[in-house]
Amino acid sequence: MRRFERWYGAGPLQLVVVLVSFAVAGYAGVRLLAGDWQGVVVWFIGAALVQDLVLIPLYSLADRALRALPGVARGGWINALRVPAALSGLLLLVWFPLILGPPARYSGATALPGGVFLTRWLLITAGLFAVAIAWRATRSLRGSSIRANGAYRRKRKRLVR
């Protein structure tokens, strides 16, 4: 067993989980490619190029701009903005055909008019940012009250002695 873990780098259960996940992904890929395999291949290549040539430079610029704002990088506020932005971007990446205006074939499949997806994505994005900012504000207030309470206790101990 130790020899296997040294050779593989993890236990046998992890290997089984990885192999099962590859099998499920392979099955999903075969089912996905059965209908329009050229479209799927073009989408994957396009997504990889857009990710590498457009999105990563935009992520970097946005992160640099956030870090330049006073007080944002300090106190964990930057992650309260990064996480909802990343989740919103992931939702946009996955559902962009519907969000940007679904083709007729999607409207028939979803039984929803085209305009609802953009509105829903914007509402989800606003909700993600609201929850993240409220969570961070609560943590900041709790942290400042704990620090203030600790300073009060230390001062009181000195006065009592």
Residue that wins the pLDDT comparison between 5 and 106: 5
Domain range for 149: 70-161
Q: What is the DSSP letter of 100?
A: T
The answer to whether residue 21 sits within a structural domain is no
C-alpha–C-alpha distance, residues 113 and 111, integer Å = 7
Question: What pLDDT is recorded for position 130?
Answer: 96
Above pLDDT 70, what percent of the chain?
81
* Domain assignment of residue 80, yes or no: yes
Number of domains in the chain: 1
CA 119 to chain centre: 20
Q: What is the pLDDT of residues 71-119, one digit of tens each?
A: 776 667 888 888 898 899 889 988 887 788 766 666 666 777 767 888 9
Least confident of 45-49, 75-79, 147-151: 147-151
pLDDT band at 121 (very low <50, low <70, confident <90, very high): very high
pTM for the model: 0.57
Residue 24 lies in a domain: no
- Please, is 60 exposed, middle or buried when counting C-beta atoms within 10 Å of its C-beta (0-12, 13-18, 19+)? exposed
Q: What is the DSSP string of 21-78?
A: HHHHHHHHHHHHHHHHHHHHHHHHHHHHHHIIIIIHHHHHHHHHHHHHSTTTSGGGHH
Give me the long-range contacts of 111-115 (CB less than 8 A, separation at least 24).
none
Answer yes or no: is 18 within a domain.
no
Asked if the structure places residue 78 within a domain, the reply is yes
Q: Say how far apart CA 69 and CA 82 lie, in whole Å.
A: 14
The per-residue pLDDT of the chain, averaged, comes to 81
Q: What is the pLDDT of residue 144?
A: 63
Within 10 angstroms of residue 85's Cβ, the number of other Cβ atoms is 18
